[in-house]
Amino acid sequence: MSSDRGLPVLDVAYVEADLDVLLNDDGVLAVLGFGAAAPARSDPRYLRVGLDPMDDSAVFEVWRVPGPVEHGLDGRVRWAASDDYCFGAIELAEAGYADLSVATEAAYTELARFTQSRRWPHLLRIWNYLAAINEGEGDNERYRYFCTGRSAGMRSVLGRGFSAASAIGRSDAEPVLQVYWLAAREAGVAVENPRQVSAWRYPREYGPTSPTFARAMRGPCAAAQLHISGTAAVVGHQSRHDGDLAAQIDETFANLDSLLASAGNLSGFGAGSVLKAYVRRREDLATVAAILRQRLPDTAKRLILLGDICRAELLVELDGIHTADA
């Protein structure tokens, strides 16, 4: 059990290891594999994500907690949990639904049902991966359909506030909606970025339904652990530096610095940081890797993935989990 001062931090790492060995560890809450080269398994703690890693690296993202971990299936939800945290995942083939908004509403209705019925009701972080995220013009863009379905599916829990989140276009183009999340038995604290308009307050030009997520979520931990939403070169509500990859990365880091300050003047990225960079164009992968080597200390772990950003003009987005120095 955790102490009275808060939950233990979630231990997150990128590792190269045998998947079956990882899944035999009683303290493993979740394992994420990336791209077509990642193996397939039916274990509820494992999810293969439809984003190709740079250089086809066989890296797993591993979430560890003080064990033991129980796991199982509940309707469409695959889940695993400790006393403190719960990992859940839903995959829905779009072919079974009228459109993406209907599929997304179905996924989020299941997510809400599950979290409300279990002892980990507080959503800290949600990841969403979907095919062709920028396809369609204006209100017919698929990301806007996704936002509409997400809001509809989450109506029953929206009164509790928004979790941190990311929404990225799958690089394998498979028309399967993947939603996975981290929930906890205690509530975190949502964090907004003073450099940006809160996503749910975006003006109508971004679609009929505003995105429903917080810029970050500070976990209910004894130590300061920040779950960072997808962060890109957006200031106010407008995208910046169209076509300029380096400038977009600079703006993204300005937003990340602002988030760390807003979350309680947290220390900068380092050994307690586990970051993902989503890169729209394959030809930019090496450049992004080089810039991150300059911008981040060697101790900060990072994974570079090929994936489309929710706005067509944005070339790169970062998210992650940051555990600040004591």
What's the whole-model pTM score? 0.96
Q: What is the 3-state secondary structure (H, E, C) of the chain?
A: CCECCEECCCEEEEECCCHHHHHCCCCEEEEEEECCCCCCCCCCCEEEECCEEHHHCCCEEEEECCCCCEEEEECCEEEEECCCEEEEEEEEEHHHCCCHHHHHHHHHHHHHHHHHHCCCCEEEEEEEEECCCCCCCHHHCHHHHHHHHHHHHCCCCHHHCCCEEEEEECCCCCCEEEEEEEEECCCCEEECCCCECCHHHCCHHHCCCCCCCECEEECCECCCEEEEEEECCEEECEECCCCCHHHHHHHHHHHHHHHHHHCCCCCCCCCCEEEEEEECCHHHHHHHHHHHHHHCCCCCEEEEEECECCCCCCCEEEEEEEECCC
Any catalytic annotation for residue 317? yes
Q: CATH classification of 11-323, choosing from 3.20.20.480, 3.20.20.70, 3.30.365.10, 3.30.1330.40?
A: 3.30.1330.40
pLDDT averaged per 10 residues, the chain (length 326): 70 96 97 95 97 88 95 98 98 98 98 96 97 98 98 78 96 97 97 97 96 97 95 98 98 98 97 98 97 97 97 98 86
Domain map (residue ranges) of the chain = 11-323
pLDDT computed for residue 1 by the predictor? 37
pLDDT computed for residue 5 by the predictor? 62
pLDDT computed for residue 3 by the predictor? 40
pLDDT computed for residue 15 by the predictor? 96
Query: Among 61, 141, 251, 317, which one carries the catalytic annotation?
Result: 317
